[in-house]
Structure 1
Amino acid sequence: MKDNIISTADSIIKDINSKIYSPIYLLMGKEPYFIDVITQALLNNVLTEAEKDFNQSIIYGKDIDVYELLTMARRAPMMSNYQLIVVKEAQQLNKIEELDSYLKNYLKSTILVLNYKYESLDKRSEKKKTFLKNVSQKGILFESTELYDSQIPDWIIKNVKEQGYQIQKHIAIMLSEFLGNDLTKINNELTKLFLNLKKGDDIPEKLILSNIGISKEYNIFEFQKALASKDIIKVNKIVNYFISNPKENPLIKIINFLYGFYSKTLTYRYYIDVKEKDISSKMKMQQWMLKDYTEAASKNSYNKLASVISIIKEYDLRSKGVNNNSTDSGELLKEMIFKILH
């Protein structure tokens, strides 16, 4: 599903924009971005502004009983072809599988949208399994999985192009490495950048550096390069910069980055005798993304990398107060980096 999650979402949105609707949309999964985008497409297209007053309902799962929802779904629209019901946080709707009875005799005039975020409906229950099967047959069942890190730059390029702007691949990589895989956050930051551009413009690196708070020299990807090459002087400069700017560079963010980087390096080290294109496949990363992992793996043994993972876990706990009564986050970061590099 990860490989075609974007195209599947695009296909659903294309139908919505073409006024081709389904009676029920169950949008579930760990990645909220696609759930939100599909829902917004429905809110923008199904009803006119005049029709929304009587025919659009946005409710939360914790605030409604499933049987009340069934009653709402069976209600006819007023002076409109459709009524649109959006249930946000549908994972909090108790006995959601009871909606299966509605699917046996649903109204074509009702469009029911269930936003089941951050998880998927448990398929171990027979009733829920039957409900999922019937949703997929009668409407849209969409599982919104998180993208792999290697997919984020291409998604950024696609997103920017769809908004009428341009972005170079290395800039998209910079954004993905700095902002991570939170698509909603990335989209929000891109929207802010667009305010400074004309349609068709290329997003310049300097605009990102000035607007998103990325230092050209002292950022997380320059940190990764310095760690990979064991450039101790540069590593220490960046560490001091991070300590001086704790709001933009909290210790927990750095620890999460380090854990991700060294875990992937350990995986690369395990496959070091395998051809690079095969390692790329096993790590679910494009070949051009392997450079720093290649260098870090060449400078650290498998046992050393395993030890580094243990060090990071230790300092993760210490940053949360375990076995640490007084050492501040700056000192913890210095200690951890020293142990990693020596």
Structure 2
Amino acid sequence: MKQLRKDISAGKIKPVYFLYGPESFLKEELAGLVKTRAFDSTEEADLNTTILYGQDITLGEIVSRASEFPMFTQRKLLIVRHADKIRKAGSPKLQKQHIEQFARYCSNPADSTILVLDAGEMDSKELQKAPWKDLRPFRHDFLKIRHPDVFAAERAESYGWEFEPEALKAFSAYIDPTAREIAREIEKLVMYASSQRKKGRITANDVYDCVGISKQYNVFELEKALAAKNLRLCSGIALMIMEQEGLKDGMMNILRYLTTFYMRIWKVHSPGARQQPLSETAKMLGMYGKQEYFAKNYLDYASKFSLQEVERSLLALRRTDAALKG
């Protein structure tokens, strides 16, 4: 995806883009980047950009619109949202003709049109069928973000800022792990940090202040109390988190964090896990980038919690999750 953005930013724009997957924010952002780089001014971009919706248009109509020459400019941008819901033609015969027209267009797209097809989540079998198979050379998938912390760190770096390890840990634990939410919160966080100092490092205090996390009662303090096996302190922190965040949201946040906590300890208990390099342990635990810094904590936790204790805890968390979800 980095290379795709780099190419578009450099003005290397293709005549067709087929963007599919659940991360709508990233697809919209990429289409916006195409729009910015394809035209000399905002006015020209607005005048020569058309947005259509799949449920309102057929393949034949898309080909027809894409084949039209632009007015008063060298090229135009045609964006089709919900492309996976493109309306079928009135008869099977006509639909077949439309598919054939679309295949011909994909093999020789118009130089004067940039066609961006934005589709939702699609399975691999569907992508092998017409008309999607004809879009193979133009395909870019936007799957759900697998590592929100890595995405957040990269997003901050694009603004010229770097997370301190504790700050990234706090941010990743409390932000909804979607591209849209992360991007929105990073923008707010960068604005806040910029008001405190020149470009540099985002601190844990920046995250606490901007995101609204209590410095005293949060899941990180809960983790420390749990590692110390201080039941009284664990209960107190958990109650305060639920009071601050609301009963249900606070409980779900605690549940999600503790499940990750115990799953990581469970993995460290696997044969040979403690003999491998720390970087490999971090990878096994799903801790990337600056999160590797905390992988060593789990080696210590594994010595404090037996495998049986961990498995009992995971079972209790699973039952709690089922009860909360009804």
Instruction: Report the TM-score, using the length of structure 1 for normalisation.
Output: 0.76
Aligned-partner residue type, residue 59 of structure 2: V
Cα 1:240–1:284 shift into 2, 3 Å: closer
Cα 1:125–1:17 shift into 2, 3 Å: closer
Q: Tell me how far apart the structure 1 counterparts of residues 216 and 45 of structure 2 sit (CA, whole Å).
A: 51
Q: In the TM superposition, what are the counterparts of 1:176-325 in structure 2 within 5 Å? A: 176-179=172-175, 181-196=177-192, 197=194, 200=199, 202-247=201-246, 249-271=249-271, 273-277=273-277, 278-286=280-288, 287-321=292-326
RMSD of aligned Cα (Å): 3.0
Cα 1:68–1:289 shift into 2, 3 Å: farther
The residue matched to 1:71 in structure 2 has which SS?
Answer: helix
Deviation of 1:84 after TM superposition, in Å, equals 0.8
Deviation of 1:183 after TM superposition, in Å, equals 3.0
Aligned-partner residue type, residue 172 of structure 2: S
Question: Which consecutive unaligned segments of at least 5 residues does structure 2 have?
Answer: 89-94
Do the aligned residues in 2 keep the contact of 1:120 with 1:143 (CA within 8 Å)? no
Q: Which runs of 4+ in 1 moved over 6 A?
A: none
Q: Tell me how far apart the structure 2 counterparts of residues 228 and 94 of structure 1 sit (CA, whole Å).
A: 57
Cα 1:165–1:283 shift into 2, 3 Å: closer
The residue matched to 2:52 in structure 1 has which SS?
Answer: strand
Do the aligned residues in 2 keep the contact of 1:62 with 1:89 (CA within 8 Å)? yes
Question: Which consecutive unaligned segments of at least 5 residues does structure 1 have?
Answer: 1-8, 322-342
Deviation of 1:240 after TM superposition, in Å, equals 1.3
Do the aligned residues in 2 keep the contact of 1:66 with 1:94 (CA within 8 Å)? yes
Q: Tell me how far apart the structure 2 counterparts of residues 229 and 87 of structure 1 sit (CA, whole Å).
A: 55
Deviation of 1:16 after TM superposition, in Å, equals 1.5
Do the aligned residues in 2 keep the contact of 1:89 with 1:115 (CA within 8 Å)? yes
Partner of 1:329 in structure 2?
Answer: none
Q: In the TM superposition, what are the counterparts of 1:1-342 in structure 2 within 5 Å? A: 9-47=1-39, 48-93=41-86, 98=99, 99-117=102-120, 119-123=121-125, 126-128=128-130, 131-132=132-133, 134-137=134-137, 140-149=138-147, 152-179=148-175, 181-196=177-192, 197=194, 200=199, 202-247=201-246, 249-271=249-271, 273-277=273-277, 278-286=280-288, 287-321=292-326
Q: Tell me how far apart the structure 2 counterparts of residues 303 and 274 of structure 1 sit (CA, whole Å).
A: 18
Aligned residues: 306
Q: Tell me how far apart the structure 2 counterparts of residues 100 and 238 of structure 1 sit (CA, whole Å).
A: 60
The residue matched to 1:270 in structure 2 has which SS?
Answer: coil
Q: Tell me how far apart the structure 1 counterparts of residues 54 and 302 of structure 2 sit (CA, whole Å).
A: 48
Select between 39-48 and 158-167 the one with higher mean Cα deviation: 158-167
Q: Tell me how far apart the structure 1 counterparts of residues 253 and 52 of structure 2 sit (CA, whole Å).
A: 34
Cα 1:28–1:293 shift into 2, 3 Å: farther
